[in-house]
Structure 1
Amino acid sequence: MSKIKLLCLPYAGGSAQVFLDWKRDLHADIELIPVELPGRGKRFGEPLRSDFNELVEDIYQSIKNEINSGPYFFFGHSMGSLIVFEVMRRLKVENQPMPMCCIFSGKNPPHVSLRNHIHELDDEEFLAKIFGYGGIPAEMLTNKELASIFLPIIRSDFQAIELYEPPAEREQMDCPFIVFYGTEDSYVSTDLVKEWSLYTTGGCEWYAYNGGHFFIQEQREQVIKQLNSILDGIKTRL
């Protein structure tokens, strides 16, 4: 049997390179495909996309070949979850192959808007706000050279997600959903996260992890163990 592709999309300000170290612990029949966003990592020289629709179109175009060459599933964390959701809507419209499963991590469902818009704050205030999310190196607050590289990326990402408009109707996907969330994540509601089920006819499961917004780093071993278990379930349906 061919490998099942795992397409991973990162959080705001992040690079797909954060998923590379998962490879050594994922089952051998999972082909890890970190999906890089424009303006960072191996795509550092490309222009950033601060318009969410343009960002989704970019990712859709970049993965079309991957999803047409065998079974696959998505994993998106935080902003990556929202990108995955909108890419799936595009796949449905274009009658493209849908994933065997879709895993949304660290994100409220699309109709739950962000409480605050911070992308217009000055650099100092903006840094202080995003530092509260965790996952941001402490030297970012003191190293101006590092901040000058990182700030435009994460500001662009926050502009994209803060100005995102969810679909007027809660369109449903014919695809199983799985939702990961941190029990101490102050940016995700343990009640509202259940409403991801409104967007699928394929059933929805939830897995809670100890930790905050970046529980995928704090509970890396448990997260990968669950991904391997999900893969085992998918293989039985192929």
Structure 2
Amino acid sequence: MVAAQDTTVVRSHRASNPSRTLVCLGFCGGGTGPYHAWGGVVPSDVDLAAICYPGREGRFLEGFARNWDELADDATEAVLSAATEGPYVLFGHSMGGWMAFDVAVRIDKRGGPAPEALVVSSANAPSRGLTVKDMFPDQRDTDEQLLGWMRTHGLMAEHVLNDPDLQEMALELMRADIRVRDTFAHHSGHRVKIPLQVITGENDDVIDPDAGVQWKNLSLGDYRHDVLPGGHFYTPDIWRRLPTFIPALTAPTSPRSEGR
């Protein structure tokens, strides 16, 4: 397991007197970049941080995680590192939603500090296990199919699209994440005690119609399910403003933030 480093928690927005931090976990094939723009829409007293997984960005020289547990161990240490600065809300999109749930469970087993809330976006409940619907992109996809998927969902910047060497690196990263994702297994009985918010896209055909009910069964605390316009990544405008749909970011300040 790789210990949390300065390059592991990427803080793209700092508030002058922060009440909490929004900590984001990446989706399959993604890095911290898609979250940086949220610095302009999070509440003025909220810090923004994203967890960098091994093998990319500032951790480029590290090897990719070999399986789900290895990545979850690494992400847990990184989130706990972010938590040393005070209260936080934990967010994960798609594969990152499962990772955020798993990390929250692991932190609870260790005795905290737990997030004030868990927010999972565009993810089916992990309790149903890894199904064909969740296995997209697929390990069997060609390079062209993977590149097409990344173009469609805006995961590749223009300079990457025009650079064969950067394309190759993006494909390597995506395939590494797919391999990790495909080793995921839910452990029966795992639930979260903290408030849980589930966000899904109204036109996302990846999400089960009863995903909300399945997620609610994994929560022992407050629960809400919000359906937003668009597909797996919503509409571009909704994605840009996604933090504005997270009530936990404007909730009364936790006592733990005193003296921060």
TM-score by length of 2: 0.80
- Summarize the Cα distance change of 1:54–1:234 in structure 2 as closer, same or farther, 3 Å threshold: farther
C-alpha deviation, 1:203, in angstroms: 2.0
**CA deviation vs aligned residue, 1:103-159 (integer Å, no higher than 9, x gap):** 00010010232316521444345445x359723449778863332010111111111
Query: Which of 35, 60, 64 does residue 44 from structure 1 map onto?
Result: 60
1:6 alignment partner in structure 2: 22
**CA deviation vs aligned residue, 1:32-88 (integer Å, no higher than 9, x gap):** 111111112222222111411100111112222322342111011111111111111
C-alpha deviation, 1:234, in angstroms: 4.3
Query: Which of 205, 208, 221 does residue 227 from structure 2 map onto?
Result: 208
Q: Secondary structure of the equivalent of 1:6?
A: strand
Query: Which of 225, 228, 231 does residue 249 from structure 2 map onto?
Result: 231
1:161 alignment partner in structure 2: 181
> Gaps spanning 5+ residues in structure 2: where?
1-16
Structure 2: how far apart are the matches of 1:39 and 1:217? 27
- Summarize the Cα distance change of 1:234–1:198 in structure 2 as closer, same or farther, 3 Å threshold: farther
Whether the 8 Å contact between 1:119 and 1:156 is mirrored in structure 2 is no
Q: How do residues 3-152 of structure 1 correspond to structure 2 at under 5 angstroms?
A: 3-112=19-128, 113-115=130-132, 117=135, 118-128=138-148, 130-131=149-150, 134-137=153-156, 144-152=164-172
TM-score by length of 1: 0.87
C-alpha deviation, 1:2, in angstroms: 4.9
Which deviates the most, 217-226 or 183-192? 217-226
Whether the 8 Å contact between 2:55 and 2:63 is mirrored in structure 1 is yes
Structure 2: how far apart are the matches of 1:24 and 1:138? 20
Structure 2: how far apart are the matches of 1:63 and 1:236? 18
> Gaps spanning 5+ residues in structure 1: where?
none
Q: Secondary structure of the equivalent of 2:251?
A: helix
Structure 2: how far apart are the matches of 1:40 and 1:28? 29
Structure 1: how far apart are the matches of 2:51 and 2:157? 26
Give the AA of the match of 1:183: E
Structure 2: how far apart are the matches of 1:216 and 1:69? 33
RMSD of the alignment, in Å? 2.6
Structure 2: how far apart are the matches of 1:17 and 1:171? 30
Q: Secondary structure of the equivalent of 1:45?
A: coil
